[in-house]
Amino acid sequence: GAVVSQHPSRVICKSGTSVKIECRSLDFQATTMFWYRQFPKQSLMLMATSNEGSKATYEQGVEKDKFLINHASLTLSTLTVTSAHPEDSSFYICSASLQRAEDTQYFGPGTRLTVL
Amino acid sequence: DQQVKQNSPSLSVQEGRISILNCDYTNSMFDYFLWYKKYPAEGPTFLISISSIKDKNEDGRFTVFLNKSAKHLSLHIVPSQPGDSAVYFCAASSNTGKLIFGQGTTLQVKP
């Protein structure tokens, strides 16, 4: 089956630092990748959609300058949380679609970010 | 504006009985619905889906029912097993491919 990995699985950082999270599709090429965040006991909220080789499309209310997304290849997308603050602490999950955005999404295991 | 709602935050069921998880949506443009299962500190895993042209889809112990007029879908798990204990999210999408998730329902199946 389609496997998506994320690295790191957990990260603790100081306020003001930047953190990069990688999302990789291991056995397929993902034209489209999605980034979600989930607060405890809440729904997964879509942050942005990224297509390989083009700029990400951010959802309303998501700061594109704070959450930098790069989708440089068909198997790798990165999310960088810049100048992280405690309120950015959350569970970040990526997903990948095989070819088109409407294809089934395969999710990564998630990254738990804690900002002190 | 919660377009997809799971009004029951938790459900407890005895092993062997049926689990019924419910989901309501408001956007009539949604044409594809999915259920995901999620364990703590893991990403969601796809369970079953249904297109708006159908009203039922079955896969083993899992059946999803869609009532378009009521904008309601449900996931039936029968028989329920302790390993089914997890958080279940319903999600909906339109032709954009974006998934809108409900808040999740925590299912506990007691042995």
Q: Classify B82 as helix, strand or coil.
A: helix
Give the one of B41, B96, B97 whose C-beta lies nearest to A110's C-beta: B41
**Which residue does chain B place closest to A10, by CA atoms?**
B41
Q: In terms of C-beta distances under 8 Å and separation of at least 24 residues, what long-range contacts does A71-74 make, across chains too?
A: A71/A33, A74/A25, A74/A29, A74/A30, A74/A31
Give residue-wise pLDDT tens across range B66-100: 999 999 999 999 999 999 999 999 999 887 778 89
Give residue-wise pLDDT tens across range A38-54: 987 788 999 999 988 88
Q: Best mutation site among A4, A43, A91, A112 for testing chain B: the one with the most B CBs within 10 Å?
A: A43
Parallel/antiparallel/unpaired status of strands A67-73 and A76-81 = antiparallel
Which DSSP state fits A65?
Answer: T
Residue ranges of chain A with pLDDT lower than 70? 1, 99-103
More confident position, B14 or A104: B14
Tell if the CB–CB gap between B104 and A107 is shorter than 8 Å: no
**Which residues of chain A lie closer than 8 angstroms to B90, CB-CB?**
none
